[in-house]
Amino acid sequence: MDLASHKFISFFKPEQAADLCRMAIVETLSEGVIIFDEGETSDFLYLILDGQVEFRKRIGYKQYQTLTKGFPNGFFGEMGILDGQPRSAQAIVSEKAILAKISRQSLMAVLDSIQGSEAVKIFSYMTQRLRESTEDYVKQVLHREKMVLFGEMVNTIIHDFQSPLSSIHLASSMIAEQHPDEDTIDMCESITEQAQRMSNMATEFLEFARGNPALRRSPVYLSSVLQNFERLNRIYFNQKSVEFIFKCDETILINADETKLLRVFQNLVGNAVDAFRERGGRVAITAIPSENEVKITVCDNGPGIPDGIRDRLFEPFVTYGKGGGTGLGTAIAKSIVEAHQGTISFTSTPLAGTTFYISLPLYREGDEEDEDLSCEL
């Protein structure tokens, strides 16, 4: 956006606005750049012209708690300018941003010349922003406490799962040894795989609750992942009268944690199948490579995502119309995709279906295998 049309500039008379625009220094900053750190001198007011800025407090070594975010037409840093105190939080670019900064000395000179009505407008807007920031912070604190409780519950479940899952593995192995025909061995292998999937799911829930889904990545062909996904769910799809198809070039190679990637497809496709409500339907996955990434679509012909949850679909515990749903499927899928340095979004049309769009980096020579990464939630 143009600096002269920024909301903060609009608070001032034309001659004052012109002075501010002339004094402002416009900078383009890349994602991850720290604008200022907690405790630093408050020397500039910042106007956001484009991009996104995150404000956060340090809560431990290399650990931060997000307080709120700033978007185009917003401004920040004014509290330190007015009271002369050091910065109370860190400001970091979360999406490539264009900022205009005005020095404390220049801003105070203009503020000294404004009339009462203009000052009221500025401080009313500042008060509104403080209220919004406080609400954001309270929501995040409540979310963190909820996730702690969730993690404790999942940890208990994982502990309780160990004994019955071990028994399932043992019984499956014994049956295969006693009945070594091909059909029995195939069924026993399926039982073992599904039991292992249950164990992996519980572990993923715990990782999600802790905010650090660990990845163990290696080069893998995406077509192989999708073939494995179809094989594991073949009986499930038949029972639900769901037509599942996928189209993927066999040469698409990515650096990924296959188990975690299967979880993404399971969550998205599982949600689609649930939405069919036993009436059957169609789910199609298509993968198209580009220069540096593969673009994956997961498309269904279901009833679409209700308006009431679209804006919050990737938030934890958001669900609709599913008696046994946890509301964690899309949130976990998003955390896994982002841990792979990918992106995920969606479009949905009532009574026509939903399409998820996933982008993942292609494998490049030099990518490390068995890399252990985490994604902060």
Q: Which CATH number fits domain 3-114: 3.40.50.720, 2.60.120.260, 2.60.120.10, 3.30.420.10?
A: 2.60.120.10
Q: What is the pLDDT of residue 373?
A: 43
Judged on CB neighbours under 10 Å (0-12, 13-18, 19+), 217 is buried
Name the more confident of 208 and 309. Answer: 309
Q: Which of 201-205, 241-245, 288-292, 372-376 shows the lowest per-residue confidence on average (mean pLDDT)? A: 372-376
Q: Name the pLDDT band for 214 (thresholds 50, 70, 90).
A: confident
Q: Name the pLDDT band for 223 (thresholds 50, 70, 90).
A: very high
Q: Name the pLDDT band for 190 (thresholds 50, 70, 90).
A: confident
Q: Please report, for the chain, the start and end positions of each structural domain, with discontinuous segments joined by +.
A: 3-114, 143-210, 215-373
Report the sign of the C-alpha dihedral through residues 81, 82, 86, 91, in that order. negative
Tell me which CATH code domain 215-373 carries: 3.30.565.10
Q: What is the pLDDT of residue 372?
A: 45
- The first and second tokens of residue 319, run together, are 């669900």
Span 256-306, pLDDT tens digits: 999 889 989 999 999 999 999 888 999 999 999 988 999 999 999 999 998
- In the three-class reduction of DSSP (H, G, I as helix; E, B as strand; rest coil), residue 336 is classed as helix
Residue 90, CB half-sphere, CA atoms under 13 Å: how many?
16
Q: Name the pLDDT band for 377 (thresholds 50, 70, 90).
A: very low
Q: Name the pLDDT band for 176 (thresholds 50, 70, 90).
A: confident
Do 49 and 95 form a contact (C-beta atoms < 8 A)?
no
At 266, the amino acid letter reads Q
pLDDT higher than 60, residue 94: yes
pLDDT higher than 90, residue 37: yes
Cα–Cα distance, 237 to 273 (Å, whole number): 8
Q: What is the pLDDT of residue 99?
A: 96
CA distances from 340 to 229, 256, 325, 343, 361 (A): 19, 7, 26, 9, 8
The answer for residues whose C-beta is within 8 angstroms of residue 174's C-beta and 6 or more apart is none
Is the pTM higher than 0.75? no
Tell me which CATH code domain 143-210 carries: 1.10.287
